[in-house]
Copies of this chain bind each other. A is one copy, B any other.
């Protein structure tokens, strides 16, 4: 009991209040979805809320109880949104599965989470048919479609039709009130080592993150925006956009499975999208399409790019050629995910364009709620001078404390400064609090006792006109321990040589940091969330013989 308590209304921060707010105050604002069935579906926040109440009723009727996990295997679309709110809002836990994982991993995750139901888009029918026998915890399989599109016969026992379940309910349902620290959703990280681990978000953490994400120094979302999340709803809840959109009452445009450049561009134009968000690789396809066809965006203004570092060359193209504001962001599953965004301060507005650009290429400053430090291997904080690089640690009300089902704490204690989540990123922080990721701690190249940032080398390579995509990995070296190897995918029709590329590094970086060799490949391996699979590349080139060795 506080010595003196405030006398304010006690209203828990619940996810149901987000969709209720949108339905009451922006009821006619549209949710437009490109669906698996092939159509462009239009609904509203009022209708989404109505259907979410019926989802809650239907799941209760199937016997699901507070705390039960409901898995989804689905693209960005209105039904997925209805499940988000219908599950969390009623006290169930929305567990988004990443369909790009290996089937065995998916089955393992469903078992670890003990999911009681699985809702899936028709795209994934063959996958679910294959995995159903292994998913022993799942009592209900629900195809996210209408009766007309239900598979004629399916090997899935008792397969249910989502629209039919929803339509059978009357919607006479009151969103329940409960503790805001209740689990609301679950998302597994696609760990590169060991089993995936689940982040269990709470209603409180989700609502606070939704406030923070909408701030002018974050996504800057308002009721005047039309938002197309390219980032999937199975990837850290599409960076919280389904929640932030409800908070602001903006229009949502859901691309479904159609993430190729042409499909995205057409949707951007027809729905007059103003804001989008996604990982760098998505923009590669979109950029190629608009460039090859000499197109322009008529409404698109701002985009947040995160997930992995955005190559400055791509930022420049988006800004210079298309007039977009590119907001570089950093976060991770364990952070709900937003941690930092690169938005200038008042003092920066007088800087020359180039200096501004260098700041905007960094991952940026924290949003209020998150705090960060960089620490040495001994755990002691390092100076914020933009030079010293160390292990990035964070904390805040939307940072995880434990993984799902694990008792061991992943946190790092800084003496006298409390507990922090170690991100696995290596970063610098400058005096203005601008953080820059220099590497993943496991990707950094340790050459003769010095660290070389693989990201810095990749950014340079990506600026070469012949390079479509590039990655740098460490290769063993008898003298220096490790040396950088550049792996490159050339643009179609380009024929730049090893020597051309190595020459490109001259004057752009210290000589001892220039890669020792270049390898050309047809494509790079990507993780299920669109990041280059460095671990796989390292294995692939483990025995690569450097000319310098």
A interface with B by C-beta (< 8 Å): 1-11, 13, 18, 20-21, 24-26, 28-29, 65-67, 91, 93, 178-179, 181-184, 199-205, 208, 211-212, 214-217, 220-226, 247-251, 336, 343-347, 349, 365-366, 368, 371, 395-404, 419, 421, 431-433
Residues of chain B within 8 A (CB-CB) of A91 are 2-3
B200 in contact with A7 (CB, 8 Å): yes
Chain B residues near A216 (CB-CB < 8 A)? 214-216, 220-222, 248
Between A25, A248, A431, the greatest number of chain B beta carbons within 10 A of the residue's beta carbon is seen for A25
CB of A129, distance to nearest CB on chain B (Å): 29
A397 contacts which chain B residues (CB < 8 A)?
8-11, 13
Pick from B9, B25, B26, B204: contact of A400, CB under 8 Å = B9
Q: Which of B8, B182, B365 contacts A2 (CB 8 A)?
A: B182
Which B residues touch A371, using CB under 8 A?
Answer: 20-21, 24
Q: Across the two chains, which residue of chain B brings its CB closest to A199?
A: B7
Chain B residues with CB under 8 Å of A11's CB are: 395-397
Q: In the complex, are the beta carbons of B65 and A6 less than 8 A apart?
A: no
Are B2 and A223 in touch, CB under 8 angstroms?
no
A-B contact sample (10 more), CB < 8 A, given A3-B67, A6-B184: A2-B178, A9-B400, A9-B421, A10-B181, A28-B432, A216-B220, A222-B343, A223-B345, A224-B344, A225-B346
Provide the bound-state CA to CA distance between A246 and B232, in Å.
33
Closest chain B CB from A6 CB (angstroms): 2
Bound form: Cα–Cα A157–B202 in Å: 53
Q: Please, which residues of chain B bring their CB within 8 A of the CB of A5?
A: 179, 181-183, 200, 202
Indicate which residue in B25, B66, B201 contacts A433 across the interface (CB closer than 8 Å): B25
Please pick, from B3, B212, B368, B398, the residue contacting A8 in the complex, using a CB distance under 8 A. B398
Report Cα–Cα, A344/B349, bound state, in Å: 28
CB distance from A173 to the nearest CB of B (A): 13
Which B residues are in CB contact (< 8 Å) with A2? 66-67, 91, 178-179, 181-183
Q: Can you show 11 pairs from A to B with CB atoms below 8 A apart?
A: A2-B66, A2-B91, A3-B67, A4-B182, A6-B203, A7-B199, A8-B204, A25-B365, A29-B345, A29-B347, A208-B211
Contacting residues, chain B, for A4 (C-beta < 8 A): 66-67, 93, 182-183, 200
The 6 tightest CB contacts between A and B, nearest first, are A6-B202, A3-B67, A4-B67, A2-B182, A216-B222, A25-B433
Q: How far is the CB of A417 from chain B (nearest CB, A)?
A: 10
Rounded to whole Å, the gap between the CB of A241 and the closest CB of chain B is 15
B401 adjacent to A3 (CB under 8 Å): no
Q: How far is the CB of A539 from chain B (nearest CB, A)?
A: 32
Enumerate chain B residues within 8 angstroms of A248, measured Cβ to Cβ. 215-217, 368
Residue of B nearest to A244 (CB): B368
In the bound complex, CA of A199 to CA of B184 (Å)? 33
Closest to A421 in B: B9
Contact in complex: A345, B8 (CB < 8 Å):
no
Q: Using known A-B contacts A25-B433, A250-B346, A371-B21, determine if residue A399 contacts B7 with beta carbons closer than 8 Å.
A: no
**Chain B min CB distance to A11 (Å):** 5
Contact B344 A9 (CB under 8 A): no
Q: Do B346 and A224 touch across chains, with their CB atoms under 8 A apart?
A: yes
Residues of B close to A20: CB separation below 8 A: 371
The residue in chain B whose Cβ has the minimal distance to the Cβ of A394 is B9
Q: How far is the CB of A84 from chain B (nearest CB, A)?
A: 15
